[in-house]
Structure 1
Amino acid sequence: MNYATVQDMIDRFGELELIQLTAGAGAVVVDATKLERMLADAQAHIDGYVGLVYALPLLGCVKPAPTPQQPTATELVPPPLLVRMACDVARYYLYDQVAPEHEVFVRFKTAQRDLEAIAAGKAVLACPWGGEPGPQITGAVSGECEVMHSFSPRYITDDSLAGYR
Structure 2
Amino acid sequence: MQYATVQDMIDRFGTPELIQLTDPDDQAAVQAARVQLKLDDAQALADGYLGRVFALPLVGCAKPVGVDQVELVPPPQLTRIVCDVARYYLYDDLAPESEVYRRFKNASAELAAIAEGKAVLGCPWGGAPGSPATAGPAAGDTQHAFAPRGIGADVDGGYR
* Uncovered stretches (5+) of structure 1, i.e. residues with no partner: none
Rg: which structure is higher?
1
Query: CA shift at 1:119, angstroms?
Result: 1.3
CA distance in 2, matches of 1:114, 1:24: 31
Which structure's residues are more often helix, by fraction? 2
Count of paired positions = 157
Query: CA shift at 1:153, angstroms?
Result: 4.9
Query: CA shift at 1:144, angstroms?
Result: 2.1
CA distance in 1, matches of 2:55, 2:134: 9
Q: Which residue of 1 aligns with 2:79?
A: 83
Which amino acid is 1:65 matched to? V
Aligned with 2:153 (options 143, 149, 156)? 156
TM-score of the superposition, structure 1-length normalised?
Answer: 0.86
Query: CA shift at 1:82, angstroms?
Result: 0.8
The alignment yields a C-alpha RMSD, in angstroms, of 2.3
> Residues 23-38 of structure 1 correspond to what in structure 2 (within 5 A)?
23-38=23-38
Which amino acid is 1:129 matched to? W
Which amino acid is 1:57 matched to? P
Aligned-residue sequence identity (percent) comes to 54
> Residues 11-160 of structure 1 correspond to what in structure 2 (within 5 A)?
11-66=11-66, 71-141=67-137, 144-145=140-141, 147=144, 153-156=150-153
TM-score of the superposition, structure 2-length normalised?
Answer: 0.88
Query: CA shift at 1:81, angstroms?
Result: 1.1
